[in-house]
Amino acid sequence: MAAVTVRQAYRFALDPSPAQERALWSHAGAARFAWNWGLAKCKERHAAEGKWYGAGDLHKLWNAAKKADPGLAWWDQNSKCCYQEAFRDLDRALSEFIKSKKGKRKGKRHGFPKFKKRRKCKDSFRVTIGPMRCSGHIVTLPRLGAIRTHESTRKLARRIGNGTARILSATVSRTAQRWFVSFTVETERLIPDTHARPGSLIGIDLGVKTLLTGVDDQGNVVAVAGPKPLKASLRKLRRVGRAHSRKTRGSANRRKSAAKLARIHARIANLRADAVQKATTALAARYETIVAEDLNVAAMTRNRNLARVVADQGFGTVRRMLGYKTIWNGGRLIVADRWYPSSKTCSGCGTVKAKLALAERTYRCDDCGLVLDRDVNAAINLRNLAASGSERLNACGGTVRPGTAGHVLLNQVPGTAHAGKTGTAAGQPVADAPVFTYAATAMHPVDGSCGAGDRVRWNATSRTGSSAV
């Protein structure tokens, strides 16, 4: 076992009293006001001098203005961290805008920061100084005091009590009329030197029909169906959305309908996150090496025929979670090149098709006559890629903040295996392979039609699976 220091977030739903809820609204409003105040000052200076204020400069200006302006006499009703962190967020947003403008920032182009409007932006604030504790069903925050939580905080409290975790900051936010607190914690994790099942290997293919399809080194096919919560709730969303559009703007009924619509969206997001968490946890605990694709999710969502189902499956989240969960279990994640033709390549003879339409769900090889499910064929190719040594390993940079002496600091999504290592598992035949399906049903064997093996269902509501693998 090797102890490494990582940064994790522990999120709890709050159960505030009416007075505490008013205080939460006040703190969120103070953070929004500080953002708008700082942005206005930055625009004024840029118009005159061609440059902006930094977070430290804005804080000095704020300290001078809050004492001189009688209209800002209310500032001491909230924690000073609300204003400081808002200025830091603004400074970070301006820096990202400059990087994006110069082409130094990857991903979607970052626009110029905008003013925040009440009920049009996310209500949140962050505190970094003062008492931040948790015990039982109680969390303690600066200026807010002790607030009840819906679930127990004993897991985090136990780590803090043992001295293996330290709270760095607390971010309070509102989602669908419910307040949450997220503690950013620097904690020690024991990373095993070897995986519980050394040598185990699986290649996974993310798809639109199923969340992921995998084939392991024993030839077993693992399929995670995925709940597709957006598709299941689409009819209800349309009905509630039409009713919301008919409400008079600014009325109480419109606010009620907006709250109902927000609760539906929150439930969809929670169902998706729950399914992805359980699937990635089960895979990382069961297989030492996982080979996945490097999908261009942003480009896929620009396709009007694929955007909804791709967003509903959460491809990017699957890849991100596998990146750190494999390391936490002593394994590794291997990422295939983005242009590797896993779906077009025949897993039997290696012939690559020139074209393969997305509607063709069965792969048929014209050379060797192989007929196989499209996703299974891609998963086999990805699994075999680990043995070829032509894959690359995903890497994440470490955090720039100093850590505890004697420990290795990783970023919030801890890095994966070091570059230069390659897979050693050889490819396996998949003829008559048993299929293992993750499904949100009770675990029981049923008859299968994919070879001579049995099809076994995996209970997606549990983190443990059948021992038949």
pLDDT digit string, tens, across residues 414-431: 434 333 333 333 333 333
Mean pLDDT (the chain, rounded):
82
What are the sequence ranges of the domains in the chain? 2-191, 201-227+274-400+420-459
Q: How would residue 93 be classed by pLDDT, with cut points 50, 70 and 90?
A: very high
State the average pLDDT over residues 355-373. 86
State the average pLDDT over residues 205-226. 89
State the average pLDDT over residues 44-62. 93
Q: How would residue 354 be classed by pLDDT, with cut points 50, 70 and 90?
A: confident
State the average pLDDT over residues 342-370. 87
pLDDT at residue 389, rounded to an integer: 58
pLDDT at residue 41, rounded to an integer: 95
Is 205 noted as a catalytic residue in this protein?
yes
State the average pLDDT over residues 323-350. 89
State the average pLDDT over residues 295-324. 87
Active-site residue, from 85, 293, 312, 373: 293
Q: For domain 201-227+274-400+420-459, which architecture applies? A: 2-Layer Sandwich (3.30)
pLDDT at residue 400, rounded to an integer: 32
Active-site residue, from 85, 216, 217, 375: 375
Active-site residue, from 85, 205, 312, 391: 205
Q: What is the pLDDT of residues 121-157, one digit of tens each?
A: 999 999 999 899 999 999 999 999 999 999 999 999 9
Q: How far apart are CA 198 and CA 220, in angstroms?
A: 17
Looking at the predicted structure, is the pLDDT value of residue 368 above 90?
Answer: no
